Amino acid sequence: MFTSQTKVRVRYAHTDQMGYVYYGNYAAFFEIARIESLRSIGLSYKELEAAGIMMPVYENYSRYIAPAGFDELLIIKVFIKELPSVKITFHYEIYNEAAQLIHTGHTVLVFINRESRRPCRAPWQIVEALKPYFSA
C-alpha cells in the first residue's frame, strides 16, 4: 500500500455561513492531496497530461465526521491500496490540528488517452513509481 500526507490550510474562501468549510470544498482538498502524493514519488500530474494522459474523475465520495474551521492546518492522509489498472483509487483521511479524524473519502479516476479519447491502462510512469509499495 502506498501512503502519503499533505497539509492544507483552511482559508476564508473555504468557509460558509455555518462557520466551517463548505461541504463542496473537500473535493478540492482531495485534489491537492492527490497531486502532492504523486509529486512525493516523483510524478508530476502536469507532465502526465503533457504526455497525453488524462485522468477524469469517475466517482467521488465524502463522509463528514466533524467540521473544519478557518485557519486550521489540516492533514490529509492519502492511501492507494491497489496498483492502478484501468483506474486508480485514492482514499483519504483528514485530521484537524487536534489530530482528530474529521473526514474520510475516496476518489476513483480513470485513464484516458488524449488522442483517442478512449480509456487506457495506467501509464507506465505511474505503475513504475507505485510498484515498490506493492511488492510481495
Non-local (6+) Cβ contacts of 132 within 8 A are none
- Taking the complex as a whole, the smallest distance from the CB of residue 72 to a second copy amounts, in Å, to 9
- Taking the complex as a whole, the smallest distance from the CB of residue 52 to a second copy amounts, in Å, to 13
Q: Is 32 in the site for a second copy (CB under 8 A)?
A: yes
Q: Is 2 in the site for a second copy (CB under 8 A)?
A: no
Q: How far apart are CA 10 and CA 76, in angstroms?
A: 12
Within 10 angstroms of residue 115's Cβ, the number of other Cβ atoms is 7
Q: How far apart are CA 115 and CA 31, in angstroms?
A: 24
* Contact predicate 63/110, CB 8 Å: no
- Taking the complex as a whole, the smallest distance from the CB of residue 79 to a second copy amounts, in Å, to 19
Instruction: Tell which one of 28, 73, 86, 101 touches a second copy (CB under 8 A).
Output: 28
Instruction: Tell which one of 1, 7, 22, 131 touches a second copy (CB under 8 A).
Output: 22
